[in-house]
Structure 1
Amino acid sequence: MTDTVNTRRLALDVLLEVTEHGAYSNQVLRAVLEKYQYMEKYERAFLTRLVEGTIQHMIELDYVIDQFSKVKVKKMKPVIRNILRMGVYQIQYMDSVPDSAACNEAVKLARKSGFSTLSGFVNGVLRNIARNSGSIRYPDEEKEPVLALSVRYSMPEWIVEEWLNAYGMEQTKAILDAFSKETPITIRTNVTKITPDALKEQLKAEGVTVQTLEELSYAGLPYTDAYHYAFAISGFDHLMALPSFQDGLFYVQDISSMMVAEAAAPEKGAHVIDVCAAPGGKSIHLAEMLDGTGSVESRDLTGYKTGLIEENISRYQIKNMTTKVWDATVPDESAEDTADVLVADLPCSGLGVLRKKTDIRYKMSRGQQEELEALQRRILDTVCSYVKKDGIMVYSTCTINPGENQENVAWFLGKHPEFELLDMEQIYPGTQVGDGFFYARLRRIS
C-alpha cells in the first residue's frame, strides 16, 4: 500500500510502547490516531488492524518465528522482534497484503530503524515463513491441551489452565473463540439531552450503522416508545468526528457495564454511593435512572480519578451527582448506614474484556490476580457498612475468574450474615454483544 504517513512505522512505535514499556495498547493507539487525524480512513483501519492483530496473536506469532529463526524471539532486539511479529501477522492474517510486500516493507523498516545489518536476517526469516506457511507445526491438542490452546488463541498458559480447571474444554474454547471476534462499540443515550429515538435518527443521519440493544431498557422514563436506550454502533471512521459524540449525546459503555446500574435499580430519591467509580460511567447511569431526584456520590482513590468523573459530570450535565476522594479500603464513619444502593465495581484482573484490551493477558499474572482477590475482599469488608438496612449492594467485576467473583461472594456471605444474596450472574464473552462480566446483588437484612 502507498502511505501518506508510514503506518508500519507508527505501528512499530505503538508495539514497542506496549511490549517493551508496559503501556496499554488502546491508550497508545488512541493517542496516535488522534495525533494523525488527517490520515485516510483506510490508513487508520490498516494501522489499527496491524497493531491490534499483532498483539492479539503475539504468542502464536512468536511460536511461528521460533520455528524458522535460529535466534529465538526472546533473545532478539526489541525492534527486530516486533518488526518480525508485524511481518508474520501480515503474511498469516492479512490477505490484502502480498507476502512480498510484507517482507519488503519489514526490511525497509529495519533499515530505517537503524538496523541495516539485520535487514538480511529479517528478510530471510519472513521469506522462509511465507514459503512454508502451509507446513507450520502446531502443538497437538490431545497431547498438550494447555500449550495447544495457548498457541492457537495466544493466551498465556496459566490462564488457559485456570479456565480449563474451572470450565472444562468446551466452555474454555467457547470463551477463547469469543475473544478472537470483533464486537461493535456500544453506547448509552444521554437521556438528559436527547431521547433514544432521536439519537438513533441523528446517528443514522451521520452515516452510522445503529442496532438497538434489546437487552437493556428504562421502564420508568417518560417516553412512550423509547425505553431501549442502548445501541451498538459501527460503520464510522472515529468517534471524535461524530457531532453527536462532540455534543455529549451518548456515553460509550459496554453492555455488561450498563447491566450493573440495571441490577442496582435505584428507586427515585435514593442515595447511591459508588466506591470505585472512575471514570464515572456507572455513576452517571445511576444518576440518570434517578431522573433528577436523589443523589449519587461517586468516589475514587485520587484527585486525578475524581477529576475524570467531574469532567464527565460536566460533559453530560448531571445535576444530582457529586465526587469524593476516598480510599475504599479505609472506613468512612460518616457514610455508615447512609446508602440505599452501594455499587462496588472493584479493581480486577480484567480478563473478561480481552476483546477491547487485548494486552491485559500479557500484563496479568496469577500472583497479581490473587492480590486483587484479597484487595476486593478488603474493600467489600469495609464498604458494606455504608448500606442501610434493606439497602442493596451490587458487587461487580469485568473478569470471568471465579476467585474474584463467586468465591468472593461466598466468602463475604460467610463473614457478613447481615446480608443475603438476591441473585448473581456470570456473563461470558460471546453470550451477548458485550464483554465477560460478573455481578452479584445483595441486600442488607439486619
Structure 2
Amino acid sequence: MRLHRNLVAAVVEALHQIFVEKKYADKVIEKILQSNPKWGARDRAFIAENTYEVVRWWRWLLFLNEIEYTDAYFPTREDLWKIVGVWQISLQTQLPDWQEFTGIYPKKVFQKIEESKKIRKVFQSIPDWLDEIGEKELGKFWEKEIYALNQSAPVVIRANTLKTTPLRLQNLLLQSDIPTVEVKNVPTALVLQKRMNIFSSPHFKNGLFEIQDASSQQVGTMLEVEPAMRVIDACAGAGGKTLHLAALMENKGKIIAMDVEQWKLDELQKRAKRANAQNIETKLIDSSKVIKRLEASADRLLLDVPCSGLGVLKRNPDAKWKMQLNFVENIKKTQREILQNYSSMLKKGGKMVYATCSILPSESEEQVRWFLSEQKGDFELLEEKRISPAQSGFDGFYMARLRKK
C-alpha cells in the first residue's frame, strides 16, 4: 500500500488532538473528515481506521518506539509521525523516504514486537490498572476477553419494525450495494459485510434502521414488554434502547424516557421523530422529586445504568486511556444508588432489567446480588445473561431481569 503524506498528516493531527488536547476520538475524526471535502471514501477510511487502530494499540506502539507509557506522557508531533510509521511497519507497509520517518528500522521494530509478546499489558495495549482488575475479576477468561475487545467492532444495525421488516430492509440495502448478514437469535440485527458511512444512506434518513450492536438489542427483548404497558427507561441517554422498546410495543402503551442530561433527551426526540416512535415521553431527572412522583407506576422498568463501558472498548478504544480506576469505583456507587432509588418506580408484580455494558462482575452480577440482599425478599431474580465479547464477537453486556413481589 502506498502512503500519501496528506492522509498520514491528517492521522497525526487527529492523534495530537486525542492524546495532547484530550479530545474524544470519534468527535476528532468526524471534524477532520469534514475538513477536506475532496477526500474520497478510500481516503476517509484510511484516516478513520488508522487513527482508531493507533489509539487502540497506543501502549504497544510506544513500546515498539522505545517510549515509556505513562499517563503524563504527551507526544510531540515528531513522536506521532514515528508512532504512525511503526504502526505501518507492523502492517508490513514499506515506508516512503520521508524525513519524518528517519530513524525507523523495520528489523528493530520486529524484534520489539517479539519482545512485547512476553508482556500482556503491553502486547494487549492496556493500562496497568485495567490488566490488574481484569485478571482479578475474570481470572483465566481475561486473556480471551481483552483480545476480543482489541478487535475492530462490526457495524450492526437494528431494523426499525415500526417502518419495515428485517428481510425487507436487508433487500433494500442490498439494492444499494450494502450487503448484510443476519445475527442468530437477534431477529432485528443485521451486520454490514463491509464498512461504510451508513449515516448517508437514505434508508437511515428515512428511519428504517438504527445503529445498535447485537448485544445491546438483547436488552430491550429481555424486558419482556407488551403493547399496552407503561414502561420507564430511567437511564435513557440518547435513546437507542428506548426506540427499540417503542418498536417492540408497536407504538402502543407509553414509554417514559428519563435522563439527568437534557441534551440527550433532545437528541432522543429527534431520533424518535425519524423512527416514527410515537409513544415516548421524555422527562428530565432534575431532582429526587421526579422519581418520587412516579413511585409504583411502571409495569416495566429499564435500568441501563452508567458503567465503565469496558464491554464496548472495541468501538471506544480511547476510553481505556482516559479512564482511571477511581472512576470505576465511583461508578459502582452510582449504580447502587440508581438500583436502590429508581426501583421504587416499579409496580408490585412488575419486572425490571438491570443492564451494563461492562465485562466486570463487580458492576454487574455482584450489584444484583447486593440489591437482592438489601431488598430482603421484595425482589426476585428471574433470569440473567452475560454476553462475552470473546464468545459472541459483539459488545460485552450483562443484563438481569427481576420481579417486584
- Would you say same fold, with TM above 0.5? yes
Which position in structure 2 is the counterpart of 1:349?
Answer: 308
How many corresponding residue pairs? 402
* Structure number with larger C-alpha Rg: 1
**2:403 matched to 1:443?**
yes
**Other-structure match for 1:270:** 229
Structure 2 contact 20–75 (Cα < 8 Å) conserved: no
Say which of 94, 115, 120 aligns to 1:138.
115
Q: Distance in 1 between matches of 2:150 and 2:367?
A: 28
Change (3 A) 1:73 1:325: closer
Residue 154 of structure 2 is aligned to residue 158 of structure 1: no
1:359-400, Cα deviation, whole Å (9 max, x unpaired): 111111111100000011111111000000010111111111
In the alignment, does 2:365 pair up with 1:406? Answer: yes
Contact 2:222–2:401 (Cα < 8 Å) also in 1? yes
1:80 Cα shift? 2.5
CA–CA distance in structure 2, aligned partners of residues 328 and 277 of structure 1: 16
User: 1:64 is matched with which residue?
Assistant: 64
Q: Could you tell which deviates more after superposition, 75-84 or 336-345?
A: 75-84
The correspondence for 2:383, drawn from 390, 399, 423, is 423
Secondary structure at 1:298's aligned position in 2? strand
Whole-Å Cα distance in 2 between the matches of residues 140 and 250 of structure 1? 41
Amino acid at match of 1:264: L
Pick from 148, 166, 170 the counterpart of residue 200 of structure 1: 170
Q: Determine the C-alpha separation between the residues in 2 that align with 1:75 and 1:389.
A: 54
Equivalent residue number for residue 102 of structure 2: 123
Give, in whole Å, the separation in 2 of the partners of 1:241 and 1:295: 31
Query: What is aligned with 1:176?
Result: 146
* Mean CA deviation greater in 268-277 or 179-188: 179-188
Cα gap change, 1:411 to 1:198, in 2 (>3 Å): same
Instruction: Give 1:80-99 correspondences, 5 Å limit.
Output: 80-93=78-91, 95=92, 97-99=93-95
Q: What's the Cα RMSD here?
A: 2.3
The answer on whether the counterparts of 2:117 and 2:123 sit within 8 Å (CA) in structure 1 is: no
CA contact (8 A) 1:330 1:382 kept: no
Give distance in 2, aligned partners of 1:442 and 1:276: 17
| More deviation, 276-285/235-244 | 235-244
Alignment of 1:295-444 (within 5 A): 295-327=254-286, 332-417=291-376, 418-444=378-404
TM-score w.r.t. structure 1 length? Answer: 0.85
- The Cα of 1:18 is off from its aligned counterpart by 1.3
> Would you say the 8 A contact 2:155–2:195 is kept in 1?
no
Q: SS state of the match for residue 155, structure 1?
A: coil
Of 413-422 and 37-46, more deviation after overlay is shown by 37-46
Deviation at 1:207, TM superposition (A): 0.5
CA contact (8 A) 2:307 2:358 kept: yes
Residue 247 to residue 38, structure 1, CA distance change in 2 (3 Å): farther
Q: 1:87 to 1:73 in 2, by over 3 A?
A: farther
- Is contact 2:63–2:116 with CA below 8 Å preserved after alignment? no
Shift of 1:287: 1.1
**Larger RCO (CA under 8 A, 6+ residues apart):** 2
Shift of 1:167: 2.0
Task: Provide closer, same or farther for how the CA distance between residues 73 and 160 of structure 1 changes in structure 2, counting only shifts above 3 A.
Answer: closer
Letter in 2 for 1:163: G
* Overall identity of the aligned pairs, in %: 28
Evaluate the alpha carbon distance shift between residue 15 and residue 415 of structure 1 in structure 2; reply closer, same or farther with a 3 A threshold.
same
The whole-number CA distance in structure 2 between the counterparts of 1:73 and 1:273 is 40
Map Cα deviations across residues 191-227 of structure 1 (whole Å, 9 max, x no partner).
Answer: 12222221110000011121011221xxxxxxxxxxx
Would the alpha carbon gap of residues 139 and 213 (structure 1) be closer, same or farther in structure 2, given more than 3 Å must change?
Answer: closer
Work out the CA distance in 1 between the residues paired with 2:131 and 2:27: 26
**TM-score, length-normalised on structure 2?**
0.93
Which of 211, 216, 235 is 2:181 aligned to? 211
- For residue 160 of structure 2, the aligned residue among 180, 185, 190 is 190
Aligned partner of 2:17: which letter?
A: E
Match of 1:221 in 2: none
Q: Gaps spanning 5+ residues in structure 2: where?
A: none
Could you tell me how far 1:177 is from its partner in structure 2? 1.8
Give the C-alpha shift of residue 246 in structure 1.
2.1
Per the TM alignment, residue 2 of structure 1 is displaced from its structure 2 partner at its CA by: 6.4
Distance 1:77 1:263, change over 3 A: closer
Aligned to 1:145: none
Check the 8 A contact 1:340/1:388 in 2, yes or no: yes
CA–CA distance in structure 2, aligned partners of residues 299 and 73 of structure 1: 35
Q: 2:241 aligns with which of 277, 282, 305?
A: 282
Aligned residues of 1:258 and 1:282 also touching (Cα < 8 A) = yes
SS of 1:86's equivalent?
helix
Deviation at 1:33, TM superposition (A): 2.7
AA paired with 1:183? A
Distance of aligned partners of 1:349 and 1:229 in 2 relative to their CA distance in 1, 3 Å threshold: same
Residue 327 (structure 1) shift? 4.5
Q: 1:191 to 1:230 in 2, by over 3 A?
A: same
CA distance in 1 between counterparts of 2:76 and 2:232 reads: 45
**After superposition, where does 1:241-252 map in structure 2 within 5 Å?**
241-252=200-211
